């Protein structure tokens, strides 16, 4: 599994992310070709070299030659969905824009659907976010981690007037992430940069072996630090990964039991790592349901909203947990019955465990009118016979 660690000692912005990805091997020609799939005009993409404190970095720029205007979250989402970009790029970009819209909605006390982006709705910011998603797919990055963020200080000008640093939307976005306030003499973390990490990254760093290092340059020269974003690519060095997660839980005694399946589906679709229900006896000995959700810290807001919107609970408890998890990945295995996804987990002693996806096995068993266990065994055998797999599967 390839992971990326964002060492944001000088902060982070969308253009710094793409600059680092270009330094890591992302092709500018590929980036241009993929971005051209969006119905946006009046811009050019280019890269240059910068040196900050002796560190060579790539500066990515979007030059605009037409007048800019604000766009709604819905119009951007519709534009992404209608484009011929890959499904992975669309999903990643939409997840980032969704986190931005949720932050803006909280700041301005409105709904996500009614959010209109000002600076972030401009062509350059859209290309920063979509370009980052393109780079993550091109470099095959599967997991992301981030250092504590320096939140800077001072004030900045915006369409809404003068705002404190960090801005209200940025502050909303970094909830659940480790930060350092009063670190830096200007704005170091932009809303776009914060949204990328809030949507995709976990606090880090993990235990991993570095294979590549890339630097993305910022636009300004900072007096107290080199204005670069360092991104390290690598692979976990152990079969066990340490994760910092959150638990959300609540007790419910007055919800139609038919609705719990839908609630669980919505939570999993929004990024929950695990969800379970357990029967409990509540006050006055009323039977109830204990709802438990495991999630990344950056997903707390979205998952809490789902619980409040889809159930009758009046409150949600939350607390941090540490989890040790086996390194895992998903592979597609071709069997004589069809394609089956298989989850592969790597143990510290070198052994490998495989588990075919039940839904794939069920679908093929029904299509071929054969026993489910035959499809399952064929997928398991196919995973064992792949080159490089341990015979202890």
Interval 105-161: pLDDT, tens: 999 898 888 888 876 668 999 999 999 999 999 999 999 999 999 999 999 888 778
Q: How much is the mean pLDDT over the chain?
A: 92
Whole-angstrom distance, CA of residue 270 vs CA of residue 313: 19
- Give the model's pLDDT for residue 393: 33
The predicted pLDDT at position 239 comes to: 66
Per residue in 222-247, pLDDT (tens digit) is 999 999 999 999 987 766 777 889 99
Whether residue 388 is predicted with pLDDT greater than 60 in this model: the reply is no
**What pLDDT does 386 receive?**
64
pLDDT, residue 141, reads: 96
Q: Are strands 143-146 and 155-158 parallel, antiparallel or unpaired?
A: unpaired
Cα 290 to Cα 282: distance, rounded to the nearest angstrom:
10
pLDDT value of residue 322: 87
Report the largest interatomic distance among the alpha carbons of the chain, rounded to a whole angstrom: 70
Count the Cβ atoms, other than its own, within 10 Å of residue 149: 27
Among 288, 282, 278, 274, residue whose Cα is nearest residue 321? 274
Q: Do residues 253 and 282 lie in contact, with contact meaning Cβ atoms separated by under 8 Å?
A: yes
Cα gap 57→347, rounded to integer Å: 38
- On the question of a cis peptide bond just before residue 205, with omega within 30 degrees of 0, the verdict is yes
- Is the pLDDT assigned to residue 188 strictly greater than 70? yes
- Write b or e for each residue in 267-300: b if 16 or more Cβ atoms lie within 10 A of its Cβ, otherwise e: beebebbebeeeeeeeeeeeebbebebbbbbbbb
- In this predicted structure, the answer to whether residue 58 has a pLDDT above a threshold of 80 is yes
d(CA 261, CA 239): 33
Provide mean pLDDT across the span 32-41.
96
Q: Could you tell me the pLDDT band of residue 4, with boundaries at 50, 70 and 90?
A: very high
CA distance 131 to 62: 11
pLDDT band with cut points at 50, 70 and 90 for residue 209: confident
pLDDT-derived band at 316, boundaries 50, 70, 90: very high
pLDDT, one tens digit per residue, over 330-369 is 889 999 999 999 998 887 767 788 999 999 999 999 999 9
DSSP string over 267-291: HHHTT-SEEEEEEEE-GGG-EEEEE
Q: Which helix (H) or strand (E) is 198 found in, with range?
A: helix 191-200
- Cα-based angle 71, 74, 75 (whole degrees, multiple of 5): 50
Averaged pLDDT, 29-52: 96
* Residues making up the chain, counted from first to last: 393
Res 74 pLDDT > 70:
yes
pLDDT at 325: 85
Given this model, what pLDDT does residue 347 score?
A: 79
Q: What is the Cβ-side half-sphere exposure of residue 271, based on CA atoms within 13 angstroms? A: 24
pLDDT of residue 390: 38
Confirm if 326 and 347 have CB atoms less than 8 A apart: yes
Domains with residue ranges and CATH for the chain: 3-236 (no CATH), 242-315 (3.30.70.1380), 327-384 (3.10.20.300)
**Residue 291 pLDDT > 80, yes or no?**
yes
For residue 206, is pLDDT > 80? no
Residue 264, classed as helix, strand or coil, is helix
On the question of pLDDT at 249 being above 50, the answer is: yes
Count Cα atoms within 13 angstroms, Cβ side, for 376: 9
């Amino acid at each position: 599994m390839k992971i990326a660690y964002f060492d944001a000692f000088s902060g982070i912005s969308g253009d710094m992310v793409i600059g680092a990805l270009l330094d890591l091997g992302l092709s500018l020609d590929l980036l241009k070709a993929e971005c051209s799939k969006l119905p946006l005009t009046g811009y050019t993409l280019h890269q240059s070299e910068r040196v900050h404190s002796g560190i060579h970095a790539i500066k990515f720029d979007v030059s605009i030659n037409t007048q800019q205007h604000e766009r709604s979250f819905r119009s951007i989402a519709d534009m992404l969905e209608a484009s011929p970009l890959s499904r992975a790029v669309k999903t990643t970009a939409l997840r980032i824009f969704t986190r931005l819209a949720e932050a803006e909605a909280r700041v301005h006390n409105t709904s996500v659907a009614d959010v209109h982006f000002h600076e972030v709705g401009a062509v350059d910011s859209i290309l920063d976010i979509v370009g980052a998603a393109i780079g993550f797919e091109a470099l095959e990055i599967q997991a992301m981690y981030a250092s504590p963020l320096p939140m800077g200080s001072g004030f900045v000008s915006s369409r809404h007037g003068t705002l404190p640093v960090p801005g209200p939307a940025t502050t909303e976005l970094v909830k659940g992430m480790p930060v350092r306030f009063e670190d830096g003499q200007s704005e170091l973390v932009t809303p776009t940069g914060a949204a990328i990490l809030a949507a995709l990254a976990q606090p880090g760093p993990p235990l991993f072996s570095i294979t590549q290092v890339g630097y993305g340059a910022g636009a300004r020269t900072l007096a107290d630090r080199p204005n670069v974003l360092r991104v390290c690519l690598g692979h976990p060095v152990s079969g066990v990964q340490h994760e910092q997660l959150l638990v959300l839980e609540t007790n419910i005694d007055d919800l139609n039991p038919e609705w719990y399946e839908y609630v669980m589906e919505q939570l999993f679709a929004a990024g929950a790592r695990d969800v379970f229900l357990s029967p409990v006896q509540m006050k006055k000995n009323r039977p109830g349901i204990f709802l438990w959700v495991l999630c990344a810290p950056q997903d707390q807001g979205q998952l809490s909203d789902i619980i409040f919107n889809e159930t009758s609970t009046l409150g949600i408890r939350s607390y941090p947990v540490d989890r040790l998890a086996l390194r895992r990945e998903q592979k597609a295995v071709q069997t004589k019955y069809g394609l089956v996804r298989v989850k592969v987990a790597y143990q510290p002693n070198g052994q490998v465990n495989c588990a075919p996806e039940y839904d794939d096995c069920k679908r093929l068993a029904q299509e071929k009118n054969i026993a489910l266990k035959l499809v399952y065994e064929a997928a398991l055998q196919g995973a064992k016979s792949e080159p490089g797999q341990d015979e202890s599967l």
